[in-house]
Amino acid sequence: MSRLQTTENLTEEQQELLNLVRQFVDEQIIPVATDLEHKDEYPTEIVEGMKEMGIFGLMIPEEYGGLGESLLTYALTVEEIARGWMSVSGIINTHFIVAYMLIQHGTEEQKQHYLPKMATGEIRGAFSMSEPGLGSDVAAIKSKAVRQGDTDDWVIDGQKMWLTNGGSSNLVAVLVRTDLGESSSPYKNMTTFLIDKTAGFGETAQGVTVPGKIDKMGYKGVDTTELVLTGHRTTSAQILGGEPGKGFYQMMDGVEVGRVNVAARACGVSMRAFELGIAYSQQRETFGKKIAEHQGILFRLADMATKVEASHQMMVKAARLKDSGARNDLEAGMAKYLAAENCADVVEQSFRIHGGYGYSKEYEIERLYREAPMLLIGEGTAEIQKMIIGRRLLEDYKLKG
């Protein structure tokens, strides 16, 4: 293991699992990642390998067929996988958020129905808050579910955006408006519905259409899609937790742990960029010596390594705090903000170390350079994280009197 990104006080079981994951990444992901990414090809064999290892059920309780591991174990696993290829970590991260929301907020019937199959990867999850004209303003969502009289039947119409796993998933947790007149707050008039569909594109269920993959600058391989709901009929049994009006808070709970995992993904990408940069600096020669011997390159390596380590430790703190049962929105926001910003910088510095070769698709750093920007946006932009951090700091440091 590297001296960087070490984690104190792991159990023997955690260490064994992480060693297995690192071996899987080194042998099964890194050798094929760049080729699959350039083809924008879904990593089917890699996903099957993760199913066999039980990664899709890592945090699902043992009573529902999962491994019952902690958020910390999951985050460290994501960090390793993202080191190999960030797109693969995206496939499990969205699945994990849906599973977490079911564990924390689902009815017992919903847990029994979905979680055992989610643990094996037979059911794969995606979730959706954003819409085409929405951005970070979740309160402005327009997709709407309307109750049919006094029955338990609902009809949903709307258009959702930026679904990771939108095509490959067969379960989507969707946040919509349900204006029942019980509150003036938009946040108390939102509900999360669980929508079953088939994997693929086109009409994937009654009134549910996944138009196709969105072509992206990076973060390829994994499918990112829209979701169009046109007269989709469902029932109250598919409301997460069985009660309308709680969807916003359920989604925010899921996104909070999702931020820890985005931080972990940024840590993994940063580590890979550092590995590539320090290796290349010891191979390339200029002016009669290895470029690692030039002071300017040494300064870059020192800066990169420091940022890799700082991001990792902040991410670990946020995960451990959540595992303890404490509120961690401040630390999760800090971890996501720090790790994403540091990742963008570390990748760029590694790119600069590679010089002109970094611009060539033959070199892995070119892929990382296109992937890092997504982490600045996913699960809340830097500006959103700073708002969360600032508000929480004011709570904790409020002047008395």
Nearest to 119 by CA among 193, 46, 59: 59
Secondary structure percentages of the chain, helix, strand, coil, to 5: 55, 15, 30
Q: Where are the beta strands (DSSP E) in 236-318?
A: 285-286, 289-290
Residue 111 CA to residue 101 CA, distance in Å, equals 10
Q: Where are the beta strands (DSSP E) in 291-338?
A: none
- The neighbour count for residue 337, using CB atoms within 10 Å, is 25
- The neighbour count for residue 88, using CB atoms within 10 Å, is 26
Beta-bridged to residue 242, according to DSSP, are none
Buried b (16+ CB within 10 A) or exposed e, 257-282: bbbbbbbbbbbbbbbbbbbbbbebbe
Residue 244 CA to residue 146 CA, distance in Å, equals 11
Q: How many residues does the chain have?
A: 401
What is the residue type of 229? L
Nearest to 380 by CA among 268, 251, 237, 226: 251
Per the residue annotation, which of 226, 331, 366, 379 is the catalytic one?
Answer: 379
The DSSP letter of residue 164 is E
Nearest to 195 by CA among 251, 139, 250, 127: 127
> Catalytic site residue 48?
no
Q: Helix axis angle, 329-354 relative to 295-323, nearest 10°?
A: 160
Residue 306 CA to residue 303 CA, distance in Å, equals 5
**How distant, in Å, are the alpha carbons of 84, 142, 199, 276, 377 from that of 34?**
10, 38, 25, 14, 22
Residue 243 CA to residue 237 CA, distance in Å, equals 9
Residue 366 CA to residue 101 CA, distance in Å, equals 35
The residue written with tokens 């011997």 in the block is: 293
Residue 378 CA to residue 366 CA, distance in Å, equals 20
Nearest to 208 by CA among 193, 191, 189, 187: 193
- Catalytically active residues, by annotation: 379
